[in-house]
Amino acid sequence: MNETRASLIHHARVLTAERGLTGYTVEELCEHVGISRRTFFNYFANKEAAVLGTAPEEAIEEALAIFAYSPPAGDLLMDVLFEFTVQLFEISGLTRQEITELVAAMDREPRLLADLVRGSEQEESRLAAAIAVREHLDPADPMVRMAAVLVTTLMRRTAFEYFDQHNTASFADIAFRNLHAARRVLAPTTKEPIDHHS
């Protein structure tokens, strides 16, 4: 199943980059992969979802449920979120080649970027809901949303650096470095302010 899904994503991105979304049909995409149209819809709702490589709903829900209902063990929430999102990324198995194909498809079909942003916002909202459950907080608590925004932004920046063609560091190493930098930003200053008048 994972191979079929990966093949659908690959061919959808290549065909979109070459012809645009309206330049091929679901049937053509299925021919490239060697599956039926009916099978395609077991994986994706439409061609756009295949190009974006939308993760299976069950996998996302399962991961969020495990996170939400794992009792806090005295760890800092940011540390737990950090480990959770790094794990999610590593499970996704994204490669530089896949990102290159996705970018090429979005260059041909810029509207896919809006779909990607919407998907990211939905994931952030679902993460916020899971945080609220785990921390026994009201979903409207500003801390809930801010925690989701912070970790999502941190991981987005980490992915940007990870997929740079010159990068040789692991995703986890870059993420840890960015988390450390975020902590430095939020930490109290330790040096005396400089007196520019003396």
Closest CA to 70 of 57, 55, 56, 87: 87
Q: Is the pTM of this model over 0.85?
A: no
Domains in the chain with CATH codes: 1-54 (1.10.10.60), 55-186 (1.10.357.10)
Q: How large is the average pLDDT for residues 20-30? A: 96
For the segment 8-17, what is each residue's pLDDT rounded down to a tens digit?
999 999 999 9
Distances (CA, A) of 18 to 100, 137, 158: 14, 48, 29
pLDDT in tens, 84-103: 888 878 777 678 888 889 99
When pLDDT is cut at 50, 70 and 90, the band that residue 136 belongs to is very high
**Residue of 64, 57, 50, 61 lying closest to 21 (CA atoms):** 50
Q: Given a cut of 70, is residue 183 above it in pLDDT?
A: yes
pLDDT the model gives residue 160: 87
Give the model's pLDDT for residue 144: 94
Summarised one tens digit per residue, pLDDT across range 149-182 is: 999 999 889 988 988 888 899 888 999 999 999 8
Q: At what angle do helices 96-108 and 111-135 cross, to 10 degrees?
A: 130
